[in-house]
Amino acid sequence: MAAIAPLCDFGWKPTDARLIGVDGETRSILDQAGENGLVVAFICNHCPYVIAVIDRIVSDARDLKEIGVGFVAISSNDAAAYPADSFENMKLFAAKHGFPFPYLYDEDQSVARDWGAVCTPDFFGFNGAMELQYRGRLDASRKQTGPQGLRRDLYEAMRQVRETGKGPEEQTASMGCSIKWRDMA
């Protein structure tokens, strides 16, 4: 079932956490910021919405780095119920797609819960002061890769954030698979 992320809560400040990455290093989420901001993407390995845009995510992350915006991806799905999202499969997924950014594992789902992540992909874009300025889609792709030439919503929003410190007032919510929550019973 598709889920839609809420729109941006401008100015919201995230809590940091240290998570294990597919490279074996434990990293602070917020330490991945560049001088002009940070994008935190909640993704997973099996979601058709993520698979449809993963190469564009990688490309945009590279382009964002060039303008001083850091990028980090987090997987929070319940790997017991969805083995395709296991830590070992995260390593394979990152290697297959040549991730130029850390891919972190939120095994206990505490970061996704604390941040209010809803779907995969779910993008959080922060300015240099770590204030939320973007909570929208990558582009107009859905379960299939959109055609070449689509407006790069995430990239353009973060370019604006770099230039002004503020994200666009008009944002289109991200849509994807719901995060697969562990049964809390």
For residue 166, give the 3-state DSSP assignment. Answer: coil
**Is domain 2-178 given the CATH code 3.40.30.10 in the classification?**
yes
Give, for 60, the enclosing helix (H) or strand (E).
helix 48-66
Round to the nearest angstrom and report the end-to-end CA distance of the chain: 22
Q: What is the pLDDT of residue 42?
A: 98
Q: Identify the pLDDT of residue 184.
A: 66
How far, in Å, CA of 122 to CA of 136, rounded? 7
Cross-sheet strand order for the sheet of 132-134 = 26-28, 18-21, 103-105, 69-75, 37-42, 122-126, 132-134
What is residue 173's predicted lDDT score, i.e. its pLDDT? 93
Measured distance CA(185)–CA(180) in Å, rounded: 15
The H or E element that residue 163 is part of is helix 153-164
Token pair for 12: 């919201």
Structural domain boundaries in the chain:
2-178
DSSP assigned state of 30: G
User: How much is the pLDDT for 185?
Assistant: 47
Q: How far, in Å, CA of 183 to CA of 80, rounded?
A: 11
Per-residue pLDDT of the chain in tens (185 residues, 90 and over written 9): 568 888 899 999 999 999 999 999 999 999 999 999 999 999 999 999 999 999 999 999 999 999 999 999 999 999 999 999 999 999 999 999 999 999 999 999 999 999 999 999 999 999 999 999 999 999 999 888 888 888 999 999 999 999 999 999 999 999 999 999 998 64
Query: Distance between CA 63 and CA 79 in Å, rounded?
Result: 31
